[in-house]
Amino acid sequence: MEKKNTILVVDDEAMNITALSHILKGEYTVYVEKDGAGCIEAAQELMPDLILLDVLMPVMNGFEVIAALKKNEDTKDIPVIFVTGLNNSQDEEMGFTLGAADYINKPLSASVVKLRVRNQIQIINQMRTIRDISITDALTGIGNRRFFYTHLEKEWYRAMRQQTPLSFLILDIDRFKTYNDTYGHLQGDKVLKGVANLILEGFSRAIDKAARWGGEEFAIILPDTTLEGAKVVAERVRATVEEHQFMADENTPTSVTVSIGINCCIPPRTEENSSPEAFVSGADKALYHAKNTGRNKVCTVEDIG
């Protein structure tokens, strides 16, 4: 079943929430909140595709809410449609200046609500499709290098803010050129796709992400994961790949091994020499240590000595 787009409806009047939910619930998954603080919290937790936001609310009005949403790195790109009884040009100008995507005026017209919401959702889905294509490796179907750097930067600064450990693994298929020369590039492509799938199967959390680093190399980002935890994931992936058979044809099973380098740290808030680039470089050095000391093994930065 195709997943429905999600909409967060925010209004302090129960009657308006009921009306909007009734209009939208057939096409979308609808969440509701009754005040500005609840909207900000729900937006961060649910990451809805679209927010329908009342302007006139007590304590925190809609203009203040959208300003807070746009300042937050996680929620700044969620489009907001104001739903309001205010119909003067100054209020509309204020809303658009703050980043509103559209306005729906009260009293509500079901057909107008559906059309304006549908227009925004179509834009969102089109942009998401374009983005997904731009960050996906065409051969393996996992993230590409662009996806990796975007995701690493996001997780790096999240770990810095929360002072939690972040682990990075870089994996290389051993002697892949020899494998290609022996079995051909089409079979080599099958192995690349197969290894990508085996990496994903080794994850136990949705927040763990993998990308094709380039050629026969893959990168893995494990948020909130200690060095020991990263070793467990790496060894599981290494062993799974080693045990897997890649059929060159129905009578010819083949196999490959991988070497993996690991780096783990809690990004410091003040240390000037610490950066995502240096973090990646450390894992890369650990990978080369693994390859230079026998291959088909897992090494960490600490193993280099």
CB 136 within 8 A of CB 154: no
Task: Tell me which of 109, 134, 159 is where a domain ends.
Answer: 134
157 within some domain: yes
**104 and 209 inside one domain:** no
**Is 235 considered catalytic here?**
no
pLDDT digits (tens, 9 = 90+) for 173-192: 999 999 999 999 999 999 99
pLDDT, position 75: 95
- Residue 172's nearest CA partner among 208, 227, 213 is 213
Question: Based on the number of CB atoms within 10 Å of its own CB, is 23 exposed (0-12), middle (13-18) or buried (19 or more)?
Answer: buried
Chain-centre distance for alpha carbon 86: 37
**105 and 169 inside one domain:** no
Determine the average pLDDT of the residues in 218-245. 97
Task: Tell me which of 134, 167, 197 is where a domain ends.
Answer: 134
Chain-centre distance for alpha carbon 279: 20
Tell me the C-alpha distance between 41 and 34, whole Å. 12
Catalytic-labelled residue, pool 155, 216, 242, 243:
216
CB 269 within 8 A of CB 160: yes
pLDDT, position 1: 61
**287 and 179 inside one domain:** yes
Q: Is the pLDDT of residue 273 over 70?
A: no
Structural domain boundaries, residue 277: 145-304
| Element spanning 44, H or E | helix 36-46
* Region label for 45, one of left (φ > 0), alpha (ψ between -120 and 50) or beta (otherwise): alpha
Q: Residue 256 belongs to a domain with what CATH number?
A: 3.30.70.270
Determine the average pLDDT of the residues in 261-273. 84
**What's the total number of domains in the chain?**
2
**124 and 76 inside one domain:** yes
140 within some domain: no
Q: Is the pLDDT of residue 271 over 80?
A: no
pLDDT digits (tens, 9 = 90+) for 79-124: 999 998 877 788 889 989 999 999 999 899 999 999 999 999 999 9
**152 and 299 inside one domain:** yes
**121 and 233 inside one domain:** no
pLDDT, position 129: 92
Tell me the C-alpha distance between 274 and 251, whole Å. 51
**76 and 152 inside one domain:** no
pLDDT, position 275: 87
The two three-digit tokens of residue 50, written as one number:
């679209």
Determine the average pLDDT of the residues in 131-156. 93
**152 and 124 inside one domain:** no
pLDDT, position 174: 98
pTM for the model: 0.74
pLDDT, position 73: 85
Determine the average pLDDT of the residues in 147-160. 92
